[in-house]
């Protein structure tokens, strides 16, 4: 990363790794996994609360 001069573009990532992530309310289990168990779904993609399909995220 330093050899190719990417440190300026990836400073946000380095700080995230250094200081950690923001706390979440999912208690470390994962809300989707909890809902999957409660509803008895076999596939976790069936309980994700937002649509997942190719080319949905436009970067």
Q: Using pLDDT thresholds of 50, 70 and 90, give the confidence band for residue 28.
A: low
The residue length of the chain stands at 59
CA 13, 56, 15 angle in degrees (round to 5)?
5
Average pLDDT of the chain to the nearest whole number: 78
Domain range list for the chain: 25-58
Cβ–Cβ under 8 Å, residues 56 and 48: no
Q: Using pLDDT thresholds of 50, 70 and 90, give the confidence band for residue 20.
A: confident
The yes-or-no verdict on residue 26 having pLDDT over 60 is: no
């Amino acid at each position: 990363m330093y050899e190719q001069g990417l440190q300026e573009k990836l400073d946000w990532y380095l700080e995230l790794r250094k200081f950690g992530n923001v706390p979440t309310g999912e208690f470390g289990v994962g809300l989707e996994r909890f809902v999957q168990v409660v509803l008895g779904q076999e596939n976790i993609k069936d309980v994700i609360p937002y649509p997942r399909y190719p080319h949905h995220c436009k970067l």
